[in-house]
Amino acid sequence: MREFDLVVFDWDGTLMDSTSHIVHAIQQACRDLALPVPARDAASHVIGLRLADALRRFCPEDRAEQLPALVDAFRRHYQANLDQVTLFDAARETLETIRAHGVFVAIATGSSRAGLERALGVVGIAELFDATRTVDECHSKPHPDMLLQLSDFFGVTLSRTVMIGDTSHDLLMAQNAGSHGVGISHGAHSDEHLRQCQPRAIVHSLPELSSWLQPRLG
């Protein structure tokens, strides 16, 4: 029997292989403003949060007035060479396989609406999603708002919704919403970090995710 009627994906680090690109943009933005440059692990840990909330962690309290400039610098570096960022292997095939089961497929991302639309335009898979939610319409992860809105939009109960993500922010959002969570380890957070959120499963690639999901989609 089908277990899930709605499959929700995070974007960066889950479908889009953009973790290194985001980390580089954070580090370069800090250099531009002569702020301490975070190590890769620290920079990758904030991926998935609302941009200002994420960058606030790298802006010392005595220089808080520089946060808007840090956000602007990040956006400038992030948008440079964005057209060279690609989907993870088998992303399109995985999404098409899931959709073939007749379930709803959506995105819940910490990106802005403009950022998500730009990225979807670059990779050309917008038609594979029935709905998307960003921090421009919802509270930032791990608040459950994105999943609450999506489940309400489709008329699907949260107990029949599964969130796929590469960070603890995604999995904690699923917990907070009362839905299911599956971690994927090829993005920003380590296996160990994901396991602390007690997801239904941790997979290591999109084909592995597809194999895990298919028997649960009827």
In terms of Cα–Cα distance, which of 137, 142, 171 is closest to 152?
Answer: 137
Cβ-based burial of 118 (10 A; exposed 0-12, middle 13-18, buried ≥19): middle
Pair of tokens at residue 135? 């921090």
Return d(Cα 174, Cα 182) in angstroms, integer: 9
* Helices marked H in 90-190: 91-99, 113-123, 145-154, 168-177
Return d(Cα 199, Cα 91) in angstroms, integer: 21
Catalytic residue among 12, 145, 166, 170: 12
Q: Does residue 89 carry a catalytic annotation?
A: no
Catalytic residue among 10, 145, 166, 170: 10
Pair of tokens at residue 120? 């979807």
Q: Does residue 10 carry a catalytic annotation?
A: yes
Catalytic residues, by residue number, are 10, 12
